[in-house]
Amino acid sequence: MNYSATLLESGLLKRIETIKHLVGNTPIFPIKSLINKKGVQVYAKMEWRQFGGSVKSRPAFNIIKQAIIRGDLTKEKTILDASSGNTGIAYAHIAAALGLKLKLCIPEQATEERKRILKMFDVDLIYSEGNRTGVSQQIVKELYRKNPEKYFYADQYSNDDNWYAHYLTAEEILRQTNQQVTHFCSSLGTTGTFMGTGRRLKEFDPNVQLISLQPDSPDHKLEGWKHLATQSIPSIYDDKLADGTEFVSCDDAYKMIADFAKYEGLLISPSSAANLVGALKIAERIDHGCVVTVFTDNAAKYSSVVDEIASKHRT
Ligand SMILES: Cc1ncc(COP(=O)(O)O)c(C=O)c1O
């Protein structure tokens, strides 16, 4: 039986409606042991608890949904983008659920875990040299330029449907903190999480402080994070939105993974741990407030990092 054909006959939009409740609506985790300051709360959204497994499920779903609504993405077209990690995996889940084809350019140095997951979803993979997503972006741009009618080019770095997806993230934060949030911080990759969540929180209350987080060195190992001074800046980024910036070291993030598992009970990814390091720095500086960040994903796709940390911090 050809399941994809049946699915497409029943209509892409109908199918979108049936899976939309699986995206977003993530729980918020209250940090207890790692902060001991009366009057200051720290929370993190558990973003792996959704279809597609990470914070990137939100933009991937919204980009695809809006493209279908506009008629830019039809069943004849192939979704095309550059991604080495979570966006690609989120596209893969959603494309499979909708019976759509997906072509991704990923750096050849992407981890075997990622390549294996994408292959399981039957994604058409092309590899770019090295480990820079910028190179992958050039390759997909060229493919699209040569054959625009064949593809829907999702272009997560320039697509407003990326950051706009995070208006919902902000709505959830407002609801889950009883509108008490005073500070929001997160990393900058495509910058969609920070831009969208930040814009909506500022609309709600211009006094909410938005702190963007960056790695403290250009050669960092924080998956999904950009060091803005040395990397290309996504066109969806507005440098006037942030009230401040914190720099986070990879060593601090790795140590946080060990501490968080031991004292709070969750095994989080390097990116999530680095976001938490940033949130705790903000919490240290203030006497009263509610600091919120996101746990982008859990440690499931980072077994080599977990092995390294376990051998160093659990001897
Ligand atoms: C693990 C991880 N952390 C952070 C980010 C950055 O999120 P954004 O692209 O919304 O800036 C990403 C993006 O892919 C990611 O995969």
Boundary (domain end) residue, out of 106, 134, 156: 156
* Domain range for 274: 12-49+165-313
Q: Ligand 1 pocket, 297 CB below 6 A?
A: yes
Closest CA to 236 of 49, 40, 62, 31: 62
pLDDT digits (tens, 9 = 90+) for 113-143: 989 999 999 999 999 886 666 788 999 999 9
Atom of ligand 1 nearest to the CA of 85: 16
CA 101 to chain centre: 22
Are 244 and 260 part of one and the same domain?
yes
Write down the pLDDT at residue 315.
60
Q: Give me the number of domains the chain comprises.
A: 2
Is residue 64 situated within a structural domain?
Answer: yes
Atom of ligand 1 nearest to the CA of 193: 10
Are 127 and 216 part of one and the same domain?
no
Are 141 and 34 part of one and the same domain?
no
Are 306 and 196 part of one and the same domain?
yes
Write down the pLDDT at residue 4.
61
Are 35 and 70 part of one and the same domain?
no
Strand partners of residue 291 = 42, 183
Are 257 and 283 part of one and the same domain?
yes
pLDDT digits (tens, 9 = 90+) for 292-305: 999 999 999 999 89
Are 151 and 91 part of one and the same domain?
yes
The rounded average pLDDT for each run of 10 residues, N- to C-terminus, in the chain (315 residues) is 59 92 98 92 98 97 96 95 92 97 91 91 91 82 97 97 98 98 97 98 98 94 90 94 98 96 96 98 97 97 90 75
C-alpha–C-alpha distance, residues 310 and 305, integer Å: 8
Are 197 and 218 part of one and the same domain?
yes
Are 190 and 308 part of one and the same domain?
yes
Is residue 2 situated within a structural domain?
Answer: no
Query: To test ligand 1's pocket by mutation, which of 271, 294, 297, 301 has the most ligand atoms within 8 angstroms of CB?
Result: 271
Mapped onto helix, strand or coil, the DSSP state of residue 25 is coil
Write down the pLDDT at residue 40.
97
Q: What is the CATH number of the domain that holds 35?
A: 3.40.50.1100
C-alpha–C-alpha distance, residues 27 and 48, integer Å: 10
Q: Compute, in angstroms, the gap from residue 177 CA to the centroid of ligand 1.
A: 23
Q: Compute, in angstroms, the gap from residue 299 CA to the centroid of ligand 1.
A: 14
List the 183-187 sheet strands across, edge first.
28-30, 40-46, 289-295, 183-187, 209-215, 244-248
Is residue 1 situated within a structural domain?
Answer: no
Write down the pLDDT at residue 109.
81
Boundary (domain end) residue, out of 121, 156, 191: 156
Contact 59, 165 (CB under 8 A): yes
Nearest residue by C-alpha to atom 6 in ligand 1: 189
Write down the pLDDT at residue 111.
82
Q: Ligand 1 pocket, 253 CB below 6 A?
A: no
Query: To test ligand 1's pocket by mutation, which of 55, 155, 295 has the most ligand atoms within 8 angstroms of CB?
Result: 55
